[in-house]
Amino acid sequence: MCLAVPGRLLERWSDATGLAHGRVAFGAVRREVCLAYTPEAQVGDFLIVHVGFAIQILDEAAAREALGYWLEIGLEMAEQEGGES
């Protein structure tokens, strides 16, 4: 099973070898990701991230749709557990 999460690129930089990296926001969570597969990504872009690699740039409408599904899944899981999200 594969899990890829949408997030927004907050900043980007290159390491000593020239490999692009960035900091991505997933709601309140911030993570460093590798931009090797999406070197054209710019600050503000929405990205799909899988195991620390940005694998696709999304337009804002697609990103918001994907984020809506994540919210829906979280709410369903909370209801199944008897808690609130």
Q: Is pLDDT above 70 for 5?
A: yes
| Full residue range of the structural domain in which residue 53 is found | 5-81
Q: What is the mean pLDDT of residues 2-23?
A: 92
Q: Map tokens 């979280």 to a residue.
A: 74
Buried b (16+ CB within 10 A) or exposed e, 3-16: eebbbbbeebeeee
pLDDT at 14: 96
pLDDT at 1: 55
Q: Which two tokens stand for residue 45?
A: 């872009």
CATH number of the domain bearing residue 63? 2.30.30.140
Q: Hey, which bits of 1-85 come out as E strands?
A: 5-14, 20-26, 29-34, 46-50, 53-58
- The answer to whether 6 and 48 are in contact (CB under 8 A) is yes
Query: For 49-84, what is each residue's pLDDT tens digit?
Result: 999 999 999 988 888 888 888 778 776 777 777 755
Number of domains, the chain: 1
